[in-house]
Amino acid sequence: MAAARGLVRVIGCSGVLPLCRQLPVWGRAARQPPSLPLTPCRAFSNNKIQVELDESSGIATMKFKSPPVNSLSLDFLTEFCISLEKLENDRACRAVIFTSAVPRVFSSGLDITEMCGKSTEHYATFWRAVQEMWLRLYSSNMMTVAAINGSSPAGGCLIALTCDYRIMVENPKFVIGLNETQLGIVAPFWFKDTFVNTVGHRIAERSLQLGSLHSASEAHKFGLVDELVPEEKLQEKTMAVVAQWLAIPDHARQLTKSMMRKAVLDRLVAHREEDIQNFVSFVSKESIQKSLRIYMEMLKKKKS
């Protein structure tokens, strides 16, 4: 499927990327680029994600702005998928950078309130949206990079893993990992597949069982993130990485990406409804509901 789209949407390109003079700006010190008619920059903003596309470079930025912790609610996921699809269908867009507009958090992962005290229909709708986000992002024809400027547990880590490249700010307070077991829940098989594809079977097995949250520097050591940078260098470094990837002809890069990811994408596509049923029946268990309520109480106390 991804391969087929790759063949259809070939964008010829080679040589060094003509970097636009006025690059999209994001990160903690973010300033909005002025919307002068001469600037080749388009922006559309919804409630939870702000998107900017620099047409001259073909680089978009999706900035998560859903305080306090960019949790992946149904609304967030819906906006994410719509925004991604818009960019995917925009010939002018060749790469997307994902980053956070919220200090110290990239994304805290799935919104637990969507999994607690709701109807089974709601759980099913929510889970389908989580799957949709992953399917679109993992198979995207665009070059994707996570500029991880804060902690990134669980679903936040998944978004990072699903990109082509991960750059993380080397702040000792920022952690990343699939910590589901710590909450008494289990990462689904496609989270696991994405993790194994990134760090290998053994590290995934140990990290997933323990629900480990790794410091940026530890995550870098075993390949969960590709690069560490000081916060003030994040934008510059991310741009350099994107430029390196966009120097490759799009169609060749896209077909190669699709070849690498096809087996794992196909597995979820083949078992999608089953996976939703599994999630719904698991999360509906009283023991799991109790675990999640305890966890939410703990989070509330922590905040106050």
Residues of this chain that interact with a copy of itself (CB under 8 A) are 10, 12, 14, 164-165, 180-187, 189, 192, 196-202, 204-206, 208-211, 223, 226, 244-245, 248-249, 251-253, 255-257, 259-261, 287, 291
> Distance between CA 147 and CA 86 in Å, rounded?
21
- Strand, coil or helix: 214: strand
Residue 303, Cβ density class (10 Å: 0-12 exposed, 13-18 middle, ≥19 buried): exposed
User: What residues act catalytically?
Assistant: 110, 155, 179-180
Q: Which residues contact 114 (CB under 8 A, 6 or more apart)?
A: 73, 74, 122, 123, 126
Alpha helices in the chain (DSSP H): 2-8, 74-88, 120-138, 154-162, 189-199, 201-210, 216-221, 234-246, 250-270, 272-284, 286-303
What tokens appear for 290 in the block? 């109790």
What tokens appear for 268 in the block? 């979820």
87, 60 Cβ separation under 8 angstroms? yes
Judged by beta carbon, residue 49 or residue 110, the one nearer a copy of itself is 110
* Rounded-to-5 percentages of helix, strand, coil across the chain: 50, 15, 35
- Letter for the amino acid at 202? R
Residue 47, Cβ density class (10 Å: 0-12 exposed, 13-18 middle, ≥19 buried): exposed
- Burial annotation 273-297 (CB, 10 A radius, 16+ → b, else e): eebbeebbeebeeeebeeebeebbe
Q: Find the shortest distance in angstroms from Cβ 178 to a copy of itself.
A: 9
What tokens appear for 171 in the block? 């702040």
